Amino acid sequence: MNKPLVIAHRGASGYLPEHTLAAKALAYGMGADYLEQDVVASRDGELIVMHDVLLDDVSDVAQKFPLRARDDGHFYVRDFDLPELRSLKLFERFEGAISKPVFPKRFPAGTGNFGIVTLRDELEMIAGLNRSTGRSVGIYPEIKRPAWHRENGFDLAEAVLRMLAEFGYERRSDPVFLQCFDAAELKRVRHELGSNLKLIQLLGDNSWGEAATDYDELLSAAGLTDVAEYADGIGPWIMQLYKFDEMTAVKSSTGLVAAAHERGLAVHPYTFRADQLAPGFSSMAEMISWFTANEDIDGFFTDFTDKGVEVVNLLQRQLP
């Protein structure tokens, strides 16, 4: 059985607002193996750590810049310069209004003094912590909606690779995984841009509209074989790994992990949440134990770094 990597999903986002330096520092202190950075671009070409190209549901942008929404009513990171973004406050994720948090029991929505983080900010902090602690915690950046960024005048993949190289992340052996939902872009990163980094093909559902990629095709035997030609692993949605029969309460594998492993692909599913359990599980500990024992996953994304580290360490101590 592998010892799966614990990947801090947007930092310790179960406890502090996502993608804030505070959330990343907390996840680091809780023992994460890797910290995730979703990367988008500002109007002046700065690389911003933000889960979406939108600012709407995590900041006070509507109050600070009420006239800067696009015709669709949304506020886009790409429409603001870094000094403007630095003036915003980040909050726990909410829906439509700060009074409707997505996760009601997490950090109180609309409170705190958290700010926008650049990729440089975060890489500098991680480098500093690795030096001061003697650890080697890795990074797990995602190139967010690269086709959309190009339509809006910016080559995000090229800029991310340039920044990573500046901080010494260039070799396959470096503690970094670079992920993307867009298969065409990952192929470009590998073949056209010549990256030697470990690449992870994220797998979503076609209905989500993450990219022009056909995820149903990628989940097929032929699709996985194609992925293995340019990537080192897959990042599947947890519901793509197993089936749950509510009538019998039986959980069974879809075979995706085994098929990926047969092709030399690592498997890092998302997202393990203590407050949003997958069907058929009564606790996050049960989820981690089942997927580790039955699926032999190589890592997992979690909002609750401490709980993930605790269960992984316990499982390792129980090995004969």
Closest CA to 109 of 196, 210, 16: 16
Q: What is the rounded average pLDDT of the residues 68-76?
A: 97
Q: Which of these, 239, 309, 313, lies nearest to 277 by C-alpha position? A: 239
Q: Which of 19, 51, 149, 268 is catalytic?
A: 51
Are 238 and 204 contacting, i.e. CB atoms less than 8 angstroms apart?
A: no
Mean pLDDT computed over every residue of the chain: 96
Give the position of tokens 């030399």.
264
Q: What confidence category does residue 317 fall into, taking pLDDT thresholds of 50, 70 and 90?
A: confident
Question: What is the 8-class DSSP label of residue 116?
Answer: -
What's the predicted TM-score (pTM) here? 0.97
pLDDT of residue 1: 66
State CA 212 to chain mean position distance.
19
Give residue 1's Cα distance to chain centre. Answer: 24
Question: How far apart (Å, rounded) are the C-alpha atoms in residues 153 and 146?
Answer: 10
Handedness of CA 224, 229, 233, 234 (dihedral sign): negative
Rg of the chain over Cα atoms, rounded to whole angstroms, equals 19
pLDDT at 101: 93
Q: Are 4 and 292 in contact (CB under 8 A)?
A: yes
Is a pLDDT exceeding 70 seen at residue 97? no
Active-site residue, 9 included: yes
Any catalytic annotation for residue 51?
yes
Cα distance between the two ends of the chain: 11
For residue range 138-149, list pLDDT tens digits in order: 999 999 999 999
The CA–CA distances, whole Å, from 302 to 5, 225, 272 equal 10, 27, 5
| pLDDT band (50, 70, 90) for residue 253 | very high
Q: What is the pLDDT of residues 152-204, one digit of tens each?
A: 999 999 999 999 999 999 999 999 999 999 999 999 999 999 999 999 999 99
Residue 98 banded pLDDT, cuts 50, 70, 90: low
269-290 residue pLDDT tens:
999 999 999 999 999 999 999 9
Query: Which residue segments constitute the domains of the chain, with CATH numbers given?
Result: 5-53+116-317 (3.20.20.190)
Residue 316 has a pLDDT of 87
Q: Residues 80-85: what's their mean pLDDT?
A: 98
What pLDDT shows up at residue 238? 98
Q: How confident is the model at residue 95, as a pLDDT?
A: 86
- Lowest mean pLDDT of 100-109, 233-242, 252-261, name the range: 100-109
